Amino acid sequence: MPGFELFGDKERNEVKDVLDSGVLMRYGFDGMRNGHWKAQQLEQKIAERMQSNHAQLVSSGTAALTVALASAGIGAGDEVIIPSFTFVASFEAILALGAIPVMVDIDDTLTLDPKAVEKAIGPNTRVIMPVHMCGSMADLGALQEICDRHKLLLLEDACQAIGGTYNGKPLGSIGDLGCFSFDYVKTITCGEGGALITNNETFYKNADHYSDHGHDHAGNDRGAESHPFLGFNYRISELHAAVGLAQIDRLDDFLAIQKKNYTILRNALEPIDGVSFRRVPEGGVENYSFLNFFLPSEEITRKTHAALGAGGVDACFYWYNNNWHYYKKWDHLRTMKSLAPVAKEVLDGIPDYPEAHFKQSDHWMGRTISCLVKLSWGEEEVVKRAEKMASIIKNQL
């Protein structure tokens, strides 16, 4: 991770096809594009690879979450349960629709704790949205059971875990809807882009229309298309889709490289007394984009993270202090600071985040270091990195 590390001739050739045709938009201009429909081709490949009936490409992972929620009718006053460790896009997408993000604790999977989810369900809860952070997944079996019992939707945010599986099924395909990001630092990239997948025909049609101003895409005359309902512009361009079309064909190769490099790092750290690893739910297989491990205390973890950086070991993250990924630094959400007035439904329903505490999440995040696994590392480089990491961690312990 990320896919841009291995850009090559496949990506260049796909982009050249688009530039040669001169048609950069995914819809219309049929006669000019010489039969090239990069977005449509990529949607077909995503659906096939993710074992889903439908895929809809959009302009970003954030757009994918927004469109997925909208396609299921989520809106003003509806509550969506999310983890306290995620990316800001999770609550941005919810708030954009006038819905309410309800944060709950994570457990040792670094994702939603099913027990915390159960306690957070209320009369306005409509969706449970696990976020498969850093390459691994939530306890999807437990969460699906909760959704079935309470008649809730399960929306998987698999933006950081494409290629991972649960009980043999691709992450993103287990829930009612699944979302992916193809931004510049994801395992496969379009530069900017995202996708949602679903087996629900209604959700798919809604997503197809909603993401393109409500166009119904009936017939082959874009000017004659009708608008069954209001929509917005979340389209991906043909240029971005062209890059993704090349990258998805390389996904299995990328995953194999990640697994190899991950395994070298993990094997070096496993014998160290005091190091343990995030729990992967039974039946789950990571996509190996991050190696996530725990140390005995917050103090030791902070010192170790600093020592790794000082020792030249880059791309190791201490999310506990991170502005983008952990609730402690989300003052704009806590205070609902917005450029425009916030919807009354949100103001009336938002939890009291300035007073909120997530002690269980703090317990795990305060002790977690996540190391990015790069595709561009050679084997000798990974071995040296693993040895240096092990030495530094031992010294701190």
Number of CB atoms found within 10 A of residue 76's CB? 13
What span, in angstroms and rounded, lies between the C-alpha atoms of 28 and 385? 50
Structure-block tokens of residue 5: 């590390």
Backbone φ and ψ of 178, nearest 5°: -135, 145
User: Which amino acid is located at 213 in the chain?
Assistant: H
Contacts of residue 355, Cβ cutoff 8 Å, sequence gap at least 6: none
Report the DSSP beta bridge partners of residue 128.
Answer: 81, 154
Give the active site residue among 169, 186, 329, 388. 186
What span, in angstroms and rounded, lies between the C-alpha atoms of 297 and 78? 38
What span, in angstroms and rounded, lies between the C-alpha atoms of 331 and 329? 6
State the burial class of residue 37 (Cβ atoms within 10 Å of its Cβ: 0-12, 13-18, 19+).
Answer: middle
What span, in angstroms and rounded, lies between the C-alpha atoms of 176 and 127? 10
What span, in angstroms and rounded, lies between the C-alpha atoms of 220 and 230? 21
Q: Is 328 a catalytic residue?
A: no
- Give the torsion through C-alpha atoms of 320, 326, 328, 333, to 10 deg: 170
Question: Strand 153-157 to strand 125-128: parallel, antiparallel, or no bridges (unpaired)?
Answer: parallel
Taking the CA atoms of 149, 94, 346 and 234 in sequence, report the sign of the dihedral they define: negative
Give yes or no for a contact between 113 and 128, defined as CB atoms under 8 angstroms apart.
no
The catalytic residues are 186
